[in-house]
Homo-oligomer: A and B are copies of this chain.
Amino acid sequence: MRLKGGPTQDEVMAVSLFKLGIQDGDVMADVGCGTGKISIQASGICCHIYAIDRRAEAIDYAKREIENAGAENITLLHGDAVHALDEIGALDCAFIGGSGNIETVLDKLAEKVSGRIVVNAVLLDTVSRAVAKMKELGIFVEVVHLQVSRSYELVGDLMFKPIHPVFIIVGEVKQ
Contact = CB atoms under 8 A, between A and B. Distances in A.
A150 B141 CA distance: 11
A163 B162 contact: yes
Q: What bracket does the count of chain A residues touching chain B fall in?
A: 35 or more
Nearest to A166: B160
Interface stretch (A32-40, A60-68, A83-91, A124-132): A124-132
B146 A148 contact: yes
Contact of A125 (B18, B122, B157): B157
A137 interface: no
Contacts of A127: 124
A124 B158 contact: yes
Interface in A22-66: none
A165 interface: yes
A166 B76 CA distance: 37
Interface in A125-168: 125-128, 131, 142-152, 154-155, 157-165
Given A142-B150, A146-B147, A147-B162, 6 more contacts: A13-B18, A14-B15, A125-B157, A143-B158, A147-B149, A149-B162
23 contacts: A11-B18, A14-B15, A14-B17, A14-B18, A14-B19, A15-B148, A123-B154, A123-B155, A123-B157, A124-B131, A124-B143, A124-B158, A124-B160, A142-B151, A144-B148, A144-B149, A145-B148, A145-B150, A146-B148, A147-B148, A149-B165, A162-B163, A162-B164
